[in-house]
Amino acid sequence: MPSKEKGLRGLWVAILADDGFEQSELKKPKKALDVAGAKTRIVSPQERKVRGWKSKDWGGELKVDVSLEDATPDEFDALLLPGGVINADSLRMNPKAVAFVKAFFNDRKPVAAICHAPWAIIEAEEARGRRMTSWPSLKTDLMDAGAEWVDEEVVVDRLLVTSRKPDDIPAFNREMLRLFAGRPMQTSSQAV
């Protein structure tokens, strides 16, 4: 993991997204990571382009850097999971996407998830025993999966940072950058 002096230079971040990702929840964290020096790559089940969701309609398309079929978690140091109902629902139903997410937890690599993205964490069976937040409609899903759900703009628990919605992106980005640089500001539970 990079030192405090290096920032995020040399850190490779996978951004796992499918069609219907919430545009602001991918673009703004990606920009923050890029500005901090990380190398971001969009990983997707889509082969060439992935289509965003903006407000109440389809948004723009982004180039897919690595197809999920060809992606190897070992090539990345951290994982960003943007939200969006369509995106998150599609990813949690995709066994390769779930295995990709699970690999980051197995390898103790940092993960950042916002809005509906924790569905993939539930499916990867990594929510149990964690303090998390999300879009409010996931509260029961997270609690049923064994997580402690809280209504806060950002929550850091071990190597996981979660946020609720686009309005929380400034706090989400701040804590994601800290976590990915190896210096989280807060820890809600003891490291396992």
Exposed (0-12), middle (13-18) or buried (19+): which is 166, by Cβ within 10 Å? middle
- Whole-model pTM? 0.92
Residue stretches of the chain with pLDDT short of 50: 1-5, 184-192
pLDDT at 189: 36
pLDDT at 7: 80
pLDDT at 79: 98
Q: How far apart are CA 32 and CA 179, in angstroms?
A: 13
Name residues whose C-beta falls within 8 Å of residue 1's C-beta, 6 or more positions apart in sequence: 11, 77, 181, 182
Closest CA to 172 of 34, 17, 25, 36: 25
pLDDT digits (tens, 9 = 90+) for 123-157: 999 999 999 999 999 999 999 999 999 999 999 99
Give the fold, CATH level 3, of 12-180: Rossmann fold (3.40.50)
Active-site residue list: 115-116
